[in-house]
Amino acid sequence: MTDDISLGPVIAIVGPSGVGKDSLMEALVAAEPRLSLLKRVITRAPEAGGEDYTPVTEAEFAQREAAGEFALHWSAHGLLYGVPAAAVVAQRAAGRGVLVNFSRAMLVDAQDVFGNFVILNVTASPEVLAARLAGRGRESTEEQAKRLAQASKPLPEGLHHVHQIDNSGELSAAVQAALAVIYPDQPERA
Ligand SMILES: Nc1ncnc2c1ncn2[C@@H]1O[C@H](COP(=O)(O)OP(=O)(O)OP(=O)(O)O)[C@@H](O)[C@H]1O
Ligand SMILES: O=P(O)(O)OC[C@H]1O[C@H](OP(=O)(O)O)[C@H](O)[C@@H]1O
């Protein structure tokens, strides 16, 4: 674990595709100036839309990985994902919190790497997930089905500081629930 006490928390936002991770992260940053989004490096096509990420080819990803750029990296949905280490440190400076969309499979590694680490496991019913992926339309129907098949993947054993955030209803409710976890000693926001 390489963690300086002056560094703020790494807040892992995890859960099945379509549950609202990106939506929740964007809303949290809009509501709380001490929070920022970690810009991931992904081998996803630049025009895919959605989150703000650094699109790279698989060759570029391999070069960055070999150069030690990533604090953590993984593959999922036929894509490669990397978390730039320097960006995490910079965004945690002065106690600020950084929001990271992690794979559930990476959480044990992540809690060892980052130390000051909290996990928000975002949930919604299968029906809601299917409707949201269809409504978003970013993936093909076939890819949506593959993602939905992964929805019930359990979190790994051995995790600490895991909190369930229900995003079945209004996004604003999930935002308030998440802020109450991240900043438990602060009154509910207006
Ligand atoms: N609370 C909510 N109520 C209604 N719609 C929502 C809510 N949260 C997210 N959505 C919508 O559901 C869709 C999926 O949301 P989002 O892309 O944030 O999910 P995600 O978990 O990041 O998905 P992925 O892992 O596939 O990137 C989007 O169209 C988004 O606008
Ligand atoms: O099912 P699991 O392994 O938890 O997550 C699979 C992938 O989905 C999410 O990314 P995105 O939302 O596709 O960008 C995660 O960050 C991970 O990369």
48-91 pLDDT per residue, tens: 777 899 999 999 999 999 999 999 999 998 999 999 999 999 99
Domain that holds residue 149: 10-182
- Flag whether 15 is in a domain: yes
- Flag whether 187 is in a domain: no
34 pLDDT tier (thresholds 50, 70, 90) = very high
Q: How far is the CA of 83 from the centre of ligand 2 (A)?
A: 13
Which pTM does this prediction carry?
0.92
Q: Using alpha carbons, list the distances in angstroms from residue 17 to 54, 142, 177.
A: 19, 14, 20
Which of the listed residues 10, 14, 17 should we mutate to test ligand 2's pocket, taking the one with most ligand atoms within 8 A of CB?
Answer: 17
Counting from 1 in the atom list of ligand 1, the atom nearest the Cα of 169 is 1
Tell me: pLDDT of 124 over 60: yes
Number of domain units in the chain:
1
Q: How far is the CA of 94 from the centre of ligand 1 (A)?
A: 30
Which of the listed residues 125, 132, 138, 143 should we mutate to test ligand 1's pocket, taking the one with most ligand atoms within 8 A of CB?
Answer: 132
What distance in Å separates the CA atoms of residue 147 and residue 122, rounded to the nearest whole number?
15
- Flag whether 190 is in a domain: no
- Flag whether 104 is in a domain: yes
Domain containing residue 165: CATH number: 3.40.50.300
Counting from 1 in the atom list of ligand 2, the atom nearest the Cα of 147 is 1
Taking alpha carbons only, the member of 10, 35, 33, 7 closest to residue 94 is 7
